[in-house]
Amino acid sequence: MKKYLYLAAAGSALLMASCENSEQTQTTTPTEPAEVQTQAIAQPTVQEAKEFLETSAVEIADLSHKAGTIYWVNSNFITEDTNNLAAQVGAEAALLSTRLANEAKRFNDLTLPADMARKLDGLKRGSNFPAPDKPGAAKELATLMTDLNSAYSQGKFAYKTDIAELAKFYEEDANAALTLEQLSDIIAKSRNPEELQAVWEGWRTISPPMRKDYVRMVDIINEGSRELGFKDTGALWRAGYDMPADDFTKEADRLWSQVKPLYDELHCHVRAKLNDEYGDEVVPLDQPIRADLLGNMWGQSWGNIYDLVKPEGEDVNIDVTALLDKAGYDEIKMVKVGEEFFTSLGFDPLPDTFWERSLFVRPKDRDVVCHASAWDIDNEDDIRIKMCIKIDGEDFNVIHHELGHNFYQRAYKNQPIYYKNGANDGFHEAIGDMIALSITPDYLVKVGLLDADDVPDASADLNILMRQALDKIAFLPFSLVVDQWRWNVFNGEYTSEAYNSGWWELRTKYQGLRAPGDRPANAFDPGAKFHIPGNTPYMRYFLAHILQFQFHKAACDIAGNEGPLHRCSIYGNKEVGARFDTMMKMGASRPWPEALDAFTGTDTMDGSAIVEYFTPLITYLKEENKDRKCGW
Ligand code: X8Z
Ligand code: ZN
């Protein structure tokens, strides 16, 4: 089983143990059980290592399949009982990955063929949420992780909005507590700062009860990470990129410095426009922006406030939500059209089981994990998505994102289990996003959503780019904050008392945002973002936002595109599909620079494609900002 997101990652992380790691021997010396040391003295052979890898592969595949079905049921039907089942299998998975990591160390002194060494390195990295090797630890960890994940998904807050178009929420029960999707709808559409603040603060009442479990979980996985030979869990995570952990930190900093100037211009412009809307008191021009005014519950993508910040003049932006509505799309039709993009590139259609087993709509009668995810239950053909689809442009993109995971999973299904993964986790998140960058006006005509006469001419380019930048550029610093915060939690810099102040320190530093009001003493705002209680590393999304533009540019080059990147659609291009497939089929079998090279002809992650994509907008923003005082 493997799923993106890794919800109860102690189990699924078994399969994340697939990339090379040279870091772990460079940090602290792992404490090895006496029994393992004895075996090491017995000088194992290459043949024994081979046999160990073979038997381990079977154990991993079997447990992964079993865990996949259990996690699927738990996520589709959250109850006390399914939580217990998930915690049990999570504990089994944690025990297995810890045991295999320790056993793999027996072969440390052998000179092995590179492929075997790569597989063993993956095993020795254990999981992203490793349990220490002592009685009870795996079960305690898996229980904490399951409870955190389920608590988030059951979160609700009672609020009554006056916005008429949202009143349908209350059709059945006037006092109903609202789900995250409903609260998010208010954040997207309301332009009343008091209401925005109330809803934003309301959602954050779900997380203070999670703090105690989170603190305990951190203690356990840090201990587990140290046993694996890493100084803390952050170092373990950073070691998953085919380079020493410290080099990865520098790599992330380098990429951020390439794209930060784009964000600074966008921030300055958006703040000025919000100031026009809300005035000096709500949006002072020399302060970080209030996080509840940006159209998204976490201020991570700002497309929903496009109407407030769009360039002057005729509005020719393509409103995909309106087009879907006009064409009478339902949830399944949206997924079908997403699938058709992939088949247009030469990929096989999704199996019947995908359609039979996926979840597309939030069920009314039970709690489910609604945060979108893609699953690979049996590491073969049983791929599925689980989403509570809204019929709008945002979820049209998310569908492509999730299908990207599924098509990647199927592309590498013939790899050994150790390599059934992305080249790095950023690749996995970038595949579907890269496809969604090809949802251009011309593409929308081809699939019958837009009339050819309505395709905007070049005068609309700034509008199109602005809409895109609000999502893609705004996201970049947010995606850094989440794991900068976790890295600081794991390394002890943020103790439990500093969890929330540390979070806001980073939100201000990277994003230039602030909370709408004082936060209560017990606030645990990071816990109100899925990936913290859902225990999914987040740096992958930062990488994906760099990589997807690199992929898009490479694809457009292969397609012989001569126009601007934001007008390029690779829809229907089999040559691009074949080259993409070459990279995807590799899975994690080779270090990621080789996979990147196979598709793009370069082995370096690089922000210049995203910079090129947005250059006309940045020129416009610089002009708009020239008499403004930017920064915070
Ligand atoms: O969690 C996701 C996907 C599933 S892997 C829906 N994303 C991040 C988020 O929602 O915070 C996609 C972009 C960022
Ligand atoms: Zn994803």
Specify the pLDDT at position 88: 98
| Closest-lying ligand 1 atom to the alpha carbon of residue 544 | 13
CA distances (Å), origin 26, targets 122, 140, 228, 229, 244: 15, 29, 12, 8, 9
**Ligand 2 midpoint to CA 429 (Å):** 5
The overall average pLDDT reported for the chain is: 92
Is 531 a known active-site residue? yes
**Ligand 2 midpoint to CA 357 (Å):** 19
| Residue of 153, 388, 390, 401 best suited for mutating to test ligand 1, as the one with most atoms within 8 Å of CB | 401
Distance in angstroms (rounded) separating the CA atoms of residues 225 and 129: 8
Which ligand lies nearest the alpha carbon of 530? Answer: 1
Which residues line the pocket of ligand 1, CB cutoff 6 A?
Answer: 4-5, 372-373, 398, 401, 541
Contacts of 537 (CB under 8 A, 6+ apart): 128, 237, 425, 483, 486, 531
Which ligand lies nearest the alpha carbon of 479? Answer: 1
CA torsion, ordered 482, 488, 490, 493, to nearest 10 deg: -150
CA distances (Å), origin 456, targets 7, 466, 535, 556: 41, 15, 42, 20
Distance in angstroms (rounded) separating the CA atoms of residues 3 and 374: 6
Distance in angstroms (rounded) separating the CA atoms of residues 73 and 86: 9
Kindly report the protein residue whose alpha carbon is nearest to atom 2 of ligand 1. Answer: 372
Kindly report the protein residue whose alpha carbon is nearest to atom 3 of ligand 1. Answer: 372
Choose the catalytic residue: 23, 103, 402, 429: 402
In this prediction the pTM is 0.94
The answer, yes or no, to whether residue 335 has pLDDT greater than 90, is yes
Strand, helix or coil for residue 563: coil
Burial of 199 (0-12, 13-18, 19+ CB in 10 A): buried
**Ligand 1 midpoint to CA 596 (Å):** 22
Choose the catalytic residue: 267, 401, 531, 566: 531
129 touches 141 (CB < 8 A): yes
Instruction: Domain ranges for the chain, please list them.
Output: 5-151+211-240, 320-455+539-601
| Residue that has been written with the tokens 């920064």 in this structure | 631
% of the chain exceeding 90 in pLDDT = 88
Specify the pLDDT at position 197: 97
542 touches 249 (CB < 8 A): no
The answer, yes or no, to whether residue 19 has pLDDT greater than 80, is no
End-to-end Cα distance, the chain? 45
| Residue of 184, 409, 429 best suited for mutating to test ligand 1, as the one with most atoms within 8 Å of CB | 429
Specify the pLDDT at position 14: 43
Specify the pLDDT at position 48: 97
Range with lowest mean pLDDT among 21-25, 54-58, 458-462, 559-563: 21-25
The answer, yes or no, to whether residue 614 has pLDDT greater than 60, is yes
**Ligand 1 midpoint to CA 46 (Å):** 41
- Could you report the per-residue pLDDT of 287-325, keeping only the tens digit for each? 999 999 999 999 999 999 999 999 987 667 689 999 999
| Residue that has been written with the tokens 């609309």 in this structure | 460
Specify the pLDDT at position 299: 98
**Ligand 1 midpoint to CA 220 (Å):** 26
**Ligand 1 midpoint to CA 400 (Å):** 12
DSSP line for 360-427: -S--SSS----S-EEEETTSSS-EEEE----SSHHHHHHHHHHHHHHHHHHHTTTS-GGG-S-SSHHH
Distance in angstroms (rounded) separating the CA atoms of residues 359 and 384: 8
337 touches 393 (CB < 8 A): no
| Residue of 153, 371, 546 best suited for mutating to test ligand 1, as the one with most atoms within 8 Å of CB | 371
Interval 548-567 mean pLDDT: 97
The answer, yes or no, to whether residue 615 has pLDDT greater than 70, is yes
Kindly report the protein residue whose alpha carbon is nearest to atom 8 of ligand 1. Answer: 541
Interval 478-507 mean pLDDT: 98
| Closest-lying ligand 1 atom to the alpha carbon of residue 298 | 11
Kindly report the protein residue whose alpha carbon is nearest to atom 14 of ligand 1. Answer: 541
% of the chain exceeding 70 in pLDDT = 93
Distance in angstroms (rounded) separating the CA atoms of residues 85 and 402: 26
Distance in angstroms (rounded) separating the CA atoms of residues 616 and 613: 8
Distance in angstroms (rounded) separating the CA atoms of residues 82 and 387: 19
Residue 359, number of CB atoms within 10 A of its CB: 20
The answer, yes or no, to whether residue 2 has pLDDT greater than 60, is no
Interval 17-44 mean pLDDT: 41
Kindly report the protein residue whose alpha carbon is nearest to atom 13 of ligand 1. Answer: 541
- Could you report the per-residue pLDDT of 241-297, keeping only the tens digit for each? 999 999 999 999 999 999 999 999 999 999 999 999 999 999 999 999 999 999 999
Which ligand lies nearest the alpha carbon of 370? Answer: 1
Which ligand lies nearest the alpha carbon of 408? Answer: 2
Contacts of 563 (CB under 8 A, 6+ apart): none
Specify the pLDDT at position 173: 78
| Closest-lying ligand 1 atom to the alpha carbon of residue 372 | 6
Distance in angstroms (rounded) separating the CA atoms of residues 40 and 109: 8
373 touches 149 (CB < 8 A): no
Name the band, by pLDDT with cuts 50, 70 and 90, for residue 18: very low
| Residue of 472, 541, 547, 548 best suited for mutating to test ligand 1, as the one with most atoms within 8 Å of CB | 541
- Could you report the per-residue pLDDT of 397-413, keeping only the tens digit for each? 999 999 999 999 999 99
Strand, helix or coil for residue 476: helix
**Ligand 1 midpoint to CA 296 (Å):** 13
Specify the pLDDT at position 42: 65
CA torsion, ordered 523, 524, 530, 535, to nearest 10 deg: -170
Distance in angstroms (rounded) separating the CA atoms of residues 601 and 599: 6
